[in-house]
Amino acid sequence: MQQKDDFSEFSIQDLLVEGGFDCPCHTHHAVGVKQVLIEKGAIAKVPGILRDLGVSRPFLIEDTHTHQAAGKQVEDTLRQSGYGYSSYMFSQNRVEPDEHAIGQVVMAFDPSCDMVVGIGGGTINDIGKIIAHVTGLRYMIIATAPSMDGFASNTSSMIQSGGKISLNSTCPTVIVADLEVLCAAPDNMLKAGLGDMVAKYISICEWRIAHLITGEYYCDRIAALVRRSVRKCMESAGDLGKRDPQTVGNIMEGLILSGIAMSFAGVSRPASGVEHYFSHIWDMRALEFNTRNELHGLQVSVGTALSLDIYDRIRTLVPDRQKALDYVARFDYEAWKATLRQYLGSSAEVLIQKESHEGKYSKATHKARLERIMDHWGDIQSIIQEELPLAADFCRTMETFGLPTTPGELGIPEEIARFTFNASKDIRDKYVASRLLWDLGVLEEFAENL
């Protein structure tokens, strides 16, 4: 067991050390991933990996797109190696990570199988980790695109009753990333992975602010690991459009490092903040009203740009204690619930039910948070200065990479973007920019100027 080494600069393989790490934050960090393979021809090594793990019959989960990208090659490789397997392929053109998808796989599951293998990206991975969790089996993900940061995490982003939730699931034992497959991924998926990574500017900033205001657990070394993963991705991003294997491999490594950070923390906090909630709400509206939505990472790119603009304005904000107290005193949660129902339809009920036991809008707890904010406003400003680029600089950089930075590029009206920020405080019981601004009594002002 590692006791003293600073793991924040370790290689991926060294981070997978047996026994994990005792950390100065007084938490033991470990990850369930045992092996990560990022190289050309990695799929050819899958049968050998399964044999080393003592797996006799894997259960494959894929969809029609990921079958063409890698699933057929995986199946052919298994057959040629004398491996039997069972599989389930989603037939629908677009799979959502919801109760219906989980039910489809469960009904097709072969109980003679002794490992779950997902072949795909974010959605297949989230579903595969849940299936492994409920069956008690180990899990392997064979990535088809470097499109998101959840490969190495032990949570799944799912849709339940129309709402976006994060569920505990099984961390993969093995991650296989064949660079020949990844480099052939659609252009928008390559960009989505980068979009998911740049969100970490916001997530680390908000994690530090939450620690200061609410006492939420925070680890400097995990934060440093995430900063490193962002740095690795940004240094490589300029050549992403060329599909250079080294560049794509660096992006994939950065995404996996981010997922390891989430597993170390035991929550998604190191990798997602208010910028992710823009995406979650847009997904919820798409399900409820059949409106347009895009790949998660592309939506998060826009959410990050909007969040940075908000934090630029927070840099110049002067808190007013009485204004905040008056605002919260007259806040009408019943009226706000009606607004949630108007814009989110039936999926609003998930958020309303959560608030019934989370108590985010409690006037008593607000006063305590407000005093912490007033006492530490200088520290909050220092955190923002240390962690965040300016919005204009960020947008110029993202535009050179071909990533969207405005809601209009995603077909999202300004009114919906403003509502989204206002509602972002309801998605999770997580202290983010919208919660801070609600505490300060200026949330609507900021939303109106988004």
Angle (deg, nearest 10), helices 200-214 and 296-314 = 50
User: Is residue 406 a contact partner of residue 302, using CB atoms and an 8 Å limit?
Assistant: yes
User: Is residue 170 a contact partner of residue 148, using CB atoms and an 8 Å limit?
Assistant: no
Instruction: In the chain, count H helices and then E strands.
Output: 22, 10
Three-class DSSP category at 11:
coil
Structure tokens given for 290: 């059949």
What pLDDT is stored for residue 420 in this prediction?
Answer: 98
Q: Mention every residue, 6+ apart, whose C-beta is less than 8 A from residue 342.
A: none
CA dihedral 37, 40, 46, 49 (to 10 degrees): -40
What pLDDT is stored for residue 2 in this prediction?
Answer: 44
Q: Mention every residue, 6+ apart, whose C-beta is less than 8 A from residue 325.
A: 367, 370, 441
Class of domain 7-190: alpha beta
| Residue 267 burial class via C-beta count within 10 angstroms: exposed 0-12, middle 13-18, buried 19 and up | buried
Q: 174-178 and 138-143 as β-strands: parallel, antiparallel, unpaired? A: parallel
Instruction: Summarize pLDDT for 184-211 with one digit per residue, the tens.
Output: 999 999 999 999 999 999 999 999 999 9
Instruction: Summarize pLDDT for 254-299 with one digit per residue, the tens.
Output: 899 999 998 899 888 999 999 999 999 999 999 999 998 999 999 9
> What's the half-sphere exposure (Cβ side, CA atoms, 13 Å) at 268?
23
Provide the whole-model pTM: 0.93
- Average pLDDT (416-422) is 97
Q: How confident is the model at residue 233 (pLDDT cuts 50, 70, 90)?
A: confident
Three-class DSSP category at 117:
strand
Structure tokens given for 28: 């033991």
Q: Mention every residue, 6+ apart, whose C-beta is less than 8 A from residue 334.
A: none
Quote the mean pLDDT of the chain: 94
Three-class DSSP category at 82:
coil
- d(CA 23, CA 33) in angstroms, rounded, equals 19
> Is residue 3 predicted with pLDDT exceeding 70?
no
User: In Å, how far from its chain's centre is CA 328?
Assistant: 31
Instruction: Summarize pLDDT for 338-358 with one digit per residue, the tens.
Output: 999 999 999 999 999 999 999
- What is the percent of the chain with per-residue pLDDT over 90, rounded to a whole number? 86
What pLDDT is stored for residue 151 in this prediction?
Answer: 93
List the chain domain ranges: 7-190, 273-450
Three-class DSSP category at 116:
strand
User: Is residue 70 a contact partner of residue 178, using CB atoms and an 8 Å limit?
Assistant: yes
Of 62 and 9, the structure prediction assigns the larger pLDDT to: 62
Chain length of the chain: 450
Which of 116-120, 127-131, 347-351 comes out lowest in average pLDDT?
347-351
Q: Mention every residue, 6+ apart, whose C-beta is less than 8 A from residue 121.
A: 66, 143, 144, 145, 147, 148, 189
Between the CA of residue 279 and those of 287, 300, 418, 422, what are the distances in Å? 12, 6, 13, 13
CB atoms within 10 A of CB 396: 11
Instruction: Summarize pLDDT for 61-88 with one digit per residue, the tens.
Output: 999 999 999 999 999 999 999 999 999 9
Instruction: Summarize pLDDT for 141-161 with one digit per residue, the tens.
Output: 999 999 998 899 888 989 888
- Average pLDDT (133-146) is 97
Question: Order of strands across the sheet with 58-63?
Answer: 35-39, 174-178, 138-143, 115-120, 58-63, 86-90
Instruction: Summarize pLDDT for 385-397 with one digit per residue, the tens.
Output: 999 999 999 999 9
* Rg of the chain taking only CA atoms, in angstroms: 22
**Which residue shows structure tokens 């097709």?**
108
Instruction: Summarize pLDDT for 318-329 with one digit per residue, the tens.
Output: 999 999 999 999
What pLDDT is stored for residue 163 in this prediction?
Answer: 78
Q: How confident is the model at residue 1 (pLDDT cuts 50, 70, 90)?
A: very low
- d(CA 186, CA 230) in angstroms, rounded, equals 22
